[in-house]
Amino acid sequence: MASIELKQIHKWFDTAHVIDGVDLLIEKGEFVVFVGPSGCGKSTLLRIIAGLEEASSGSVLIDSQDVTANLPSERSLAMVFQSYALYPHMNVRENIGFALKTAGLEKKLIDEKVDETAKILELNALLDRLPKQLSGGQRQRVAIGRAIIREPKGFLFDEPLSNLDAALRVNMRLEISHLHKKLGITTIYVTHDQIEAMTLADRIVVLNKGQIVQAGSPRVLYNKPNSAFVAEFIGSPKMNMIPCFSEDGNITLQLGSGKKTNIKSPGKQTFKMGARPETIIFTELDKADLIGKLVLCEYLGSEQFAYVDCGDALLITVRIDPTTEMEIGIEVGLSFDQSNLHFFADSGLRIEP
């Protein structure tokens, strides 16, 4: 395993500044997930670390050694792509051992290492099969096996599960997490799926427009986002954002004629109040902080989400008991848990109460 450090990485494609001064230290054995919207630069940053893309400026260090000018083969990193890219005419054993074969290792040693890798990934019974005889999840495990067998200093995963169906993605997430705990190899994982990021990462790095906007554990990013962007990006469903202004020390909701509440103001004149769906409850209309019309209940089996139209194009999501049945179209009152509210300035940055 190795530490990986990025120092002032910039990348330009003609006039497009896709990576804008990224500084990041990834500790030995850490599982770090890059996440962000399409076009934020996460895959480009991963390719720069791998050596597949050249940085316009800045440095890449592996175990404190500058490898910025090194070829990908000289960085001791193994990359797993979205596409399995297996050799169709080779069986699983040959695919996993191909890198060692091209390196000139003896067949006996290659077979030993392939058997050891197959055991880790539970591929022992599939070694004689061709890729076309495997499921999508099995093919991805073979691709991971090719990476493991090289005994790299670090793993780089570029959206490896996006080609799999929902059930397989859950299984593969568990397998990748288990594999990391077992091998302890430094891992960088790129995804656009924030649920993958939350379930896999020791630390999440949120990128937007080529910059790191926040880095921290999944719990920190969920419970204390430093900006409205992170607050709405991390969490499914996303955080509700309600425009407000301050009046006599209390918050007035900036909807229609305005609804004054007993929620204490963070002291700014205008701002947004953020509330997670699980921190809002239904209450009597005369006691409500906000009133709206129930337009949809989304039943998901183990949980249920109610969507309330509060006017001015504001749709509030509320997590409710899945056993509750409600009549669509009725007027409902909403009350906020004041201990779990978030406040953001017009600039988008977090305001501490």
Cα-based distances in Å from 262 to 249, 293, 308: 9, 22, 21
Average pLDDT of 308-330? 92
Average pLDDT of 300-308? 94
| Cα 232-235-190 angle, rounded to 5 deg | 95
Residue 308: Cβ within 10 Å count: 23
| pLDDT at site 286 | 87
Burial status of residue 74 (CB atoms within 10 A of its CB: 0-12, 13-18, 19 or more)? exposed
| Cα 200-198-43 angle, rounded to 5 deg | 75
At 48, give phi and psi (nearest 5°).
-65, -40
Residue 255 has pLDDT above 70, yes or no: no
- At 305, the pLDDT band (50, 70, 90 cuts) reads very high
Average pLDDT of 119-132? 90
Question: Which of 137, 138, 189, 190 minimizes the C-alpha distance to 167?
Answer: 137
**What angle do helix axes 107-120 and 136-148 make, rounded to 10 degrees?**
130
Residue ranges, CATH 3.40.50.300, the chain: 4-233
| pLDDT at site 249 | 74
| pLDDT at site 259 | 66
CA distance 232 to 239: 5
Query: pTM score, two decimals?
Result: 0.88
SS3 state at 183: helix
- At 3, the pLDDT band (50, 70, 90 cuts) reads very high
Write down the mean pLDDT value for the chain. Answer: 90
Residue 64 has pLDDT above 90, yes or no: yes
Q: Under 8 Å CB-to-CB from 340, ≥6 apart: which residues?
A: 275, 276, 279
Residue 84 has pLDDT above 80, yes or no: no
| pLDDT at site 102 | 86
The CATH class, in words, for 4-233 is alpha beta
| pLDDT at site 104 | 85
Per DSSP, 277 falls in state: G
| pLDDT at site 287 | 87
Tokens of 292: 């709206």
Residue 44 has pLDDT above 60, yes or no: yes
| pLDDT at site 6 | 97
Average pLDDT of 21-48? 94
**What angle do helix axes 136-148 and 92-102 make, rounded to 10 degrees?**
20
Tokens of 218: 């999944």
Which CATH architecture is the domain 240-351 placed in? Beta Barrel (2.40)
| pLDDT at site 121 | 85
Bridge partners for 7 per DSSP: 59
Q: What is the pLDDT of residues 163-176, one digit of tens each?
A: 777 777 888 888 88
| pLDDT at site 256 | 52
| pLDDT at site 258 | 57
Q: What is the pLDDT of residues 203-254, one digit of tens each?
A: 999 999 999 999 999 999 999 999 999 999 998 899 999 988 887 777 777 7
Average pLDDT of 279-305? 93
Q: Is-contact 1 184, C-beta < 8 A?
A: yes
Question: Which of 169, 189, 186, 5 minimizes the C-alpha distance to 81?
Answer: 189
Residue ranges, CATH 2.40.50.140, the chain: 240-351
Cα-based distances in Å from 244 to 180, 209, 282: 44, 27, 20
The CB-side HSE value for 339 (13 A sphere, CA atoms) comes to 0
| pLDDT at site 173 | 87
Which of 148-157, 257-266, 293-302, 331-340 has the weakest average pLDDT? 257-266
SS percent in the chain: helix, strand, coil, step 5: 30, 35, 35
Q: Is-contact 233 226, C-beta < 8 A?
A: no
Which of 26-35, 168-177, 263-272 has the weakest average pLDDT? 263-272
- At 82, the pLDDT band (50, 70, 90 cuts) reads confident
H and E: helices and strands count for the chain: 8, 21
